Amino acid sequence: MATPQYLAPVPDWQEHEKPSMPGSPSMPWHPPWRRVAYALVAILVGITGALGNGLVSANLPVLQGQLGLTPSEGAWISAAYVMVNVTANLLVFKCRQQFGMRWFAEIGLGVYAVLTLLHLFVGSFATTLIVRAASGLAGAACSTLCLLYMLQSMPRTHTGKMMVIGVGIGQLAAPLAWVVSPALLDQGGGTWHNLYLFEAGLALCSFAAVVVLKLPPGVQIRVFEPLDFLTFALMAPAVGMVCAVLVQGYLHWWFDTRWLGWLLIAALLLIVAAVFVEHHRANPLIQTRWFANGATLRFVIGGVILRFLTAEQSVGAVGFLRAQGMGPDQFQPLFAVILAGMVIGILACSISFTPKTLVPQILLSIVLFAIAGLMDHHRTSLDRPQDFYVSQFLLSIGAGMFMGPLMLIGIGQALKNGPAYMVTFSVMFSITQTMGGLVGSAVLNTYQLVREHEFSASLVATMDRTDPMVATRLAQQSAALGAVIGDPVLRSAQGAAQLAAVARRESNVRAYNDVFMFSAVTAVAFLLWLLALLGRTALTRRLAERRAAPLPSTLPSSLPSSTAQPPPARP
């Protein structure tokens, strides 16, 4: 490797103060009050980076109604955040190394806050997309900034525990958004302005906190090359196109919309071009050869599936309750329980953290995912949010536990090959987590729609008007409307429509039960696959140790000397 070109003089740090790599801050001694301040800023910045998107997801029906948007346009609002967030991570690590993390964070947070304030005065669909894109850029900076600030809150001996907490803080934003949303919408007429005003205030507070309490200086080296920007220009739109397809696919339906296929073709061509460029570079931005490693491929698959399993909460539980007519007010206690579960999961993972507990923690989280799915697969239309407390609490503990260990395992694999592989790992980790969530949402929503249509067709086929039970139910429906509808024909038609609505509701219930079971089966299958891999690895290691063990050079002295001689010949 070439000698790094330093952009500033390197301070004369003591050994324990040196940054772990270029782009990371140094680790000097801090008084206790300053360590507490670093921890508080980490929490503020980490929540700010993801809370805006959480508020939009929690209140998307409200935003669609007040802005006059279709479901497809509403989906673009969420997609804008994800598309920018995942592509910005392509350059975040090198920005840290060459310009410093504070520079990138101040620009991201400043632009985010200004655009959010401007959106309050304009309030169009176009400005909504721009603000969400700026939120994605700020989120990419805030997630890294949260981790770096949290590392300053404790001595270096606790780095692993602080990394677990720093990675997990961003996960708290989604349930926190559901908890605070009803209070925000109850103020000032319940418009979307309250959500964006709160979001802008958080961005300004985080901007001020980052400026006032700066990270310790680190080492800055020249790392950017012209081909880095070519790779970014190829990969960013490709990843954005894939995100768009995953978000819009089940709304427009996968095989009925031609432009979805064209987006996938264009994305594939751009990815192939980017891989070709990176594969033949001397100092690539993305280490393409690393992906040919079996351990890397297994890490990617595992990361996607873990994030896929967490989608059961947003698609399964939330979708089920929304289909029963539940709104943000009814969701608030449930997500308070979920928030508590995530906090407990993150803290438990941090407290029990050792290099030997990383894999058991991930396995335990998968077990919790499976238990939650099995507990929810028998729901009925009479179930309400309080019936989901136990299952979603267990699922949220698992969601809070797996992220830190997964990241630490990936960092360990990357550093075995050298610091240059950290850029590839950063991009890979971001994409697996983002794509895993999008794939989970797309697959589970698609599966739910397919099963709902099948159950609905089955129920409607059995609803024969000549059946005494169906005729009695129709008569009851019509009689209940007698006080408000005088026309018997119209009353009969309305009664039939209400019965059809009941059939649709029950079809949705059965479909969501299948979604819960599908998630549980996936978790069990994934757990068995991991156990098989671990068993194979342990067996391979044991056989290698046996082969490497030295063979005895002499016979044991306890054997009688006659055993070493051939037996006497018979006459």
DSSP string, 317-360: IHHHHHHTT--HHHHHHHHHHHHHHHHHHHHHHHHT--TTTHHH
Helix (H) or strand (E) holding 232: helix 226-252
Confidence at residue 569, expressed as pLDDT on a 0 to 100 scale: 46
**Rounded Cα gap, residues 200 and 56, in angstroms:** 13
Confidence at residue 568, expressed as pLDDT on a 0 to 100 scale: 47
Residue that wins the pLDDT comparison between 497 and 287: 287
**Range 245-265 average pLDDT:** 86
Q: Is it the case that residue 566 has pLDDT exceeding 80?
A: no
- Quickly state the pLDDT bin for 329 (edges 50, 70, 90): confident
**Range 164-168 average pLDDT:** 86
**Rounded Cα gap, residues 7 and 102, in angstroms:** 16
Q: How far is CA 498 from CA 455, 476, 505, in A?
A: 17, 11, 11
> What percent of the chain stands above pLDDT 90?
9
Least confident range from 15-19, 212-216, 423-427, 518-522: namely: 15-19
**Range 273-284 average pLDDT:** 84
Can you tell me whether residue 13 is helix, strand or coil?
Answer: coil
Q: Is it the case that residue 442 has pLDDT exceeding 80?
A: yes
Confidence at residue 559, expressed as pLDDT on a 0 to 100 scale: 43
Q: Is it the case that residue 358 has pLDDT exceeding 90?
A: no
**Rounded Cα gap, residues 564 and 137, in angstroms:** 78
What is the overall mean pLDDT for the chain? Answer: 80
Confidence at residue 522, expressed as pLDDT on a 0 to 100 scale: 92
Confidence at residue 368, expressed as pLDDT on a 0 to 100 scale: 92
**Range 267-273 average pLDDT:** 91
Can you tell me whether residue 87 is helix, strand or coil?
Answer: helix
Least confident range from 120-129, 361-370, 503-512: namely: 120-129
